């Protein structure tokens, strides 16, 4: 009987990578069990802290392609992680490594959200953008039309790359929340036509564009993976901007009429060593 051929890690990654060219994403939140921490010896705590620092090091050779940690404000969690990679098992290994560390008995997983990156169906193609300009009254042969069309085409490639394989911005303030679109009588998002949904999402996107240079947003998709349909990650130059953008965009019809929101996890990006120090675990 012929033995099955060995499957390399690269082949496994190719099989598990999202077909659309995006990445798997996980948001993970933890608290420290103070009573369990007190049961650890000084050596166990020291070894555990070193292992946690290594597990959350984005430069580690086995780390996901994107890995960011943050101190979480409030009592929902002490710290959170965001990890993205074409291989979902590489993303999950971060969690397994934390739980298997000497600090594992003192770590309490609080919440998680599993999703994938993708280009939304509501992102306008260059052709759709051109049609919108004509509908707004621009002559398709005018210099203004051609300049605006070229500008959008030039931006679209970079915007789509950021949607699929995002880089983390330099902003420290961050928050994450899941959301659904309603399926209620008279407010069922999925019974609207594609044209109406696109119109509402274009309006919604325009509100977000007003915060360019202050807030960066990433939408990941939990459909088929999670209890919530989408996840929204925001990074801001100032925490005040997180409040402002969420408040402003909730007045858009796409949110005011059709959106349902889950829990918000707000914090500040920090290294693992800073998290352990802030949470008074390292000492």
Residue for token pair 């555990």: 48
Active-site residue flag, 177: yes
DSSP letter assigned to residue 180:
E
Write down the catalytic residue from 29, 30, 177, 241.
Answer: 177
Give CA–CA dist 278/58, Å, rounded: 20
Q: Give the per-residue SS3 of the chain.
A: CCCCCCCCHHHHHHHHCCCCCCCEEEEEEEEECHHHHHHCCHHHHHHHHHHHHHHCCCCCCCCCCEEEEEEECCCCCCEEEEEEECCHHHHHHHHHHHHHCCCHHHEEEEEEEEEEECCCCCCCCHHHHHHHHHHCCCCCCCHHHHHHHHHHHHHHHHHHHHHHCCCCCCCCEEEEEEEEECEECCEEHHHCCHHHHHHHHHHHHHHHHCCCCCEEEEEEECCCCCCCCEEEEEEECCHHHHHHHHHHHCCCHHHHCCEEECCCEEEEECCHHHHHHHCCCCC
Rounded (10°) CA dihedral 126, 182, 226, 21: -10
State the catalytic residues: 177
């Amino acid at each position: 009987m012929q033995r099955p051929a060995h499957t390399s890690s690269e082949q496994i990654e190719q099989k598990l990578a999202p077909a659309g060219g995006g990445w798997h994403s996980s948001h993970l939140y933890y608290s420290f069990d103070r009573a369990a921490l007190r049961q650890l010896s000084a050596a166990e705590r020291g070894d555990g802290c070193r292992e946690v620092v290594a597990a959350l090091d984005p430069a580690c050779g086995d780390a996901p392609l994107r890995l960011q940690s943050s101190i979480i404000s409030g009592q929902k969690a002490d710290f959170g992680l965001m990890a993205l990679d074409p291989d979902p098992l590489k993303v999950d290994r971060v969690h397994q490594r934390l739980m298997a560390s000497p600090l594992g008995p003192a770590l309490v997983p609080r919440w998680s959200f599993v999703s994938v990156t993708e280009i939304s169906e509501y992102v306008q193609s260059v052709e759709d953008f051109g049609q919108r300009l004509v509908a707004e009254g621009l002559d398709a042969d005018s210099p203004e039309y051609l300049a605006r069309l070229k500008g959008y085409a030039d931006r679209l490639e970079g915007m789509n790359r950021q949607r699929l394989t995002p880089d983390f911005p330099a902003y420290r303030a961050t928050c994450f929340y899941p959301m659904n679109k309603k399926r209620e009588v008279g407010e069922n998002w999925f019974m609207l036509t594609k044209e109406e949904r696109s119109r509402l999402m274009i309006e919604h996107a325009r509100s977000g564009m007003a915060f360019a240079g202050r807030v960066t947003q990433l939408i990941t998709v939990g459909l088929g993976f999670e209890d919530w349909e989408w996840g929204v990650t925001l990074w801001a130059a100032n925490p005040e901007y997180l409040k402002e953008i969420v408040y402003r965009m909730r007045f858009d019809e796409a949110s005011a009429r059709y959106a349902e929101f889950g829990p918000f996890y707000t914090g500040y990006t920090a290294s693992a060593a800073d998290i352990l120090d802030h949470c008074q675990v390292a000492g």
